[in-house]
Amino acid sequence: MIGLLGGSFDPVHHGHLIVGQVAAERLGLDGLRFVPAREQPFKRGRHAAPPEHRAAMLELAVQGQEGFSVERAELERAGPSYTVDSLRALRGREPGAEFTLLLGADAAVDLPLWREATELPGLARIVVFARPGAAVPSLPMIAESIEVPAVDISATEIRRRVRAGRSIRYWVPDAVAEYVARHRLYLDPE
């Protein structure tokens, strides 16, 4: 079973990595792929860093972590990143593979609004994890919910700290903090 954890990762932070690790352990996943969106449909035009930078930061963040990798399926397609398209592409590329789609409770609330939402359970098992301030919705397409540690780190706050000239050490992996500084990311107002 391969876990898929998608998002903007703008930037990836320790909260993402902890959730991924706990989910992989609790679900007994064979591997976990972080799936950076080219452009999330609900955040169109609001990504602070280009997709190539967000994917590069993810690569740095998962480097050396056995079982973790970056899935670039959404970066290979133009336009908004629709999960149903990504799952179809992965199923076509890897027939016979079983996928688990991991969602935060905050994202799962909007699940019925996603493109072709009713098709998703046929493409992947949907598992939702509780996040601070968001209860897991009761939806028939959700196969399971799991609890993960409440790590209240926000990419929005990280971007604010960078703009204010404050340290992001301990918020993100050191290699990601170095990448942000080297490429002068998140300095412009949002």
CATH code, 154: 3.40.50.620
Instruction: Give residue 177's domain range.
Output: 2-182
Instruction: Specify if 188 maps to a domain.
Output: no
Task: Give, for all 190 residues of the chain, the pLDDT tens digit.
Answer: 999 999 999 999 999 999 999 999 999 999 999 999 998 776 665 678 999 999 999 999 999 999 999 999 999 988 888 999 999 999 999 999 999 999 999 889 999 999 999 999 999 999 999 866 678 999 999 999 998 888 889 999 999 999 999 999 999 999 999 999 999 999 987 6
* Axis-axis angle for helices 51-62, 174-182 (nearest 10): 150
What CA–CA distance (Å, rounded) separates 95 from 97? 6
H or E element, residue 3: strand 2-7
Task: Give the other-Cβ count within 10 Å of 168's Cβ.
Answer: 21
Instruction: Specify if 103 maps to a domain.
Output: yes
Instruction: Specify if 187 maps to a domain.
Output: no
Put simply, whether the predicted model's pTM sits higher than 0.95 gets the answer: no
Instruction: Specify if 114 maps to a domain.
Output: yes
CB–CB of 54/61 below 8 Å?
A: no
Instruction: Specify if 167 maps to a domain.
Output: yes
Q: Is the dihedral of CA 140, 127, 115, 152 positive or negative?
A: positive
Contacts of 51 (CB under 8 A, 6+ apart): 36, 37, 38, 39, 75
Instruction: Specify if 106 maps to a domain.
Output: yes
What CA–CA distance (Å, rounded) separates 38 from 78? 8
Instruction: Specify if 135 maps to a domain.
Output: yes
Number of domains in the chain: 1
Instruction: Specify if 132 maps to a domain.
Output: yes
